Amino acid sequence: MAPRALDTLSTRIADAGAPGPDQLRDLYRMLSNVRQLDTAAVAWQRQGLIPGYAPMLGQEAAQVGAGAVVDTTRDFVFPTYREMGVAYTLGVNMVEYMSTHKALWHGGLYDPAATHFAPFQAVVGGSVLHAVGWAHGQTLNGASTVGLGVALAFLGDGASSQGDVHEAMNFAAILTAPVVFFVQNNGWAISVPTEQQVAGGSVAARAAGYGMPAVRVDGNDVLAVLDATRRAAAHARAGLGPVVVEAMTYRRGPHSTSDDPGRYRTLDDEKIDGGEDPLSRFRAVLLERGVADAAFFAEADAQAQTRADEIRDGVTALTSRPGSEMFDFVFQESTPTLGAQKRQWKEESEHV
CATH of residue 263? 3.40.50.970
| H helices present in the chain, as ranges | 6-15, 21-47, 60-67, 84-89, 94-98, 112-115, 126-141, 163-174, 222-237, 267-273, 278-289, 294-317, 325-328, 336-345
In which domain, by residue range, is 124 found? 6-321
Residue 31 within any structural domain of the chain: yes
* pLDDT (tens digit per residue) in 309-336: 999 999 999 998 888 888 988 898 999 9
Is the distance from CB of 156 to CB of 219 less than 8 angstroms? no
Is the distance from CB of 39 to CB of 85 less than 8 angstroms? no
Which amino acid is located at 222 in the chain? Answer: V
Q: Same structural domain for residues 239 and 344?
A: no
The chain-wide mean pLDDT, for the chain, equals 90
Residue 268 within any structural domain of the chain: yes
Is residue 154 predicted with pLDDT exceeding 80?
yes
Global pTM value: 0.90
Domain count of the chain?
Answer: 2
Q: Same structural domain for residues 334 and 195?
A: no
Is the distance from CB of 155 to CB of 166 less than 8 angstroms? no
Q: Same structural domain for residues 56 and 205?
A: yes
Longest dimension (CA), the chain: 67
Is residue 184 predicted with pLDDT exceeding 60?
yes
Distance CA 37, CA 28 (A): 14
**Which pLDDT band, with edges at 50, 70 and 90, does 7 fall under?**
very low
Distance CA 18, CA 293 (A): 20
Q: Same structural domain for residues 150 and 212?
A: yes
Find the helix or strand (DSSP H, E) in which 249 lies.
Answer: none
Q: Same structural domain for residues 172 and 213?
A: yes
For residue 339, CA distances in Å to 132, 181, 308, 323, 350 come to 32, 39, 41, 14, 16
Residue 52 falls in which region: left (phi positive, over 0), alpha (psi -120 to 50) or beta: beta
Q: Same structural domain for residues 286 and 341?
A: no
**Which pLDDT band, with edges at 50, 70 and 90, does 116 fall under?**
very high
Distance CA 130, CA 186 (A): 23
Which range of 106-110, 125-129, 169-173 scores highest in mean pLDDT? It is 169-173
Is residue 138 predicted with pLDDT exceeding 70?
yes
Q: 322-328, long-range: CB within 8 Å, 24+ apart, which pairs?
A: 323/349, 323/350
Residue 1 within any structural domain of the chain: no
Q: Same structural domain for residues 286 and 350?
A: no
Q: Same structural domain for residues 68 and 144?
A: yes
Pick 16 or 177 by higher pLDDT. Answer: 177
Q: Same structural domain for residues 170 and 153?
A: yes
- Mean pLDDT score, 97-111: 91
Distance CA 303, CA 47 (A): 23
Is residue 8 predicted with pLDDT exceeding 50?
no
Q: Same structural domain for residues 218 and 341?
A: no
What are the φ and ψ backbone dihedral angles of 151, each rounded to 5 degrees? -90, 125
Q: Same structural domain for residues 275 and 330?
A: no
What percentage of residues in the chain have a pLDDT greater than 70? Answer: 94
Find the helix or strand (DSSP H, E) in which 335 lies.
Answer: none
Cβ count within 10 A of residue 21 = 12
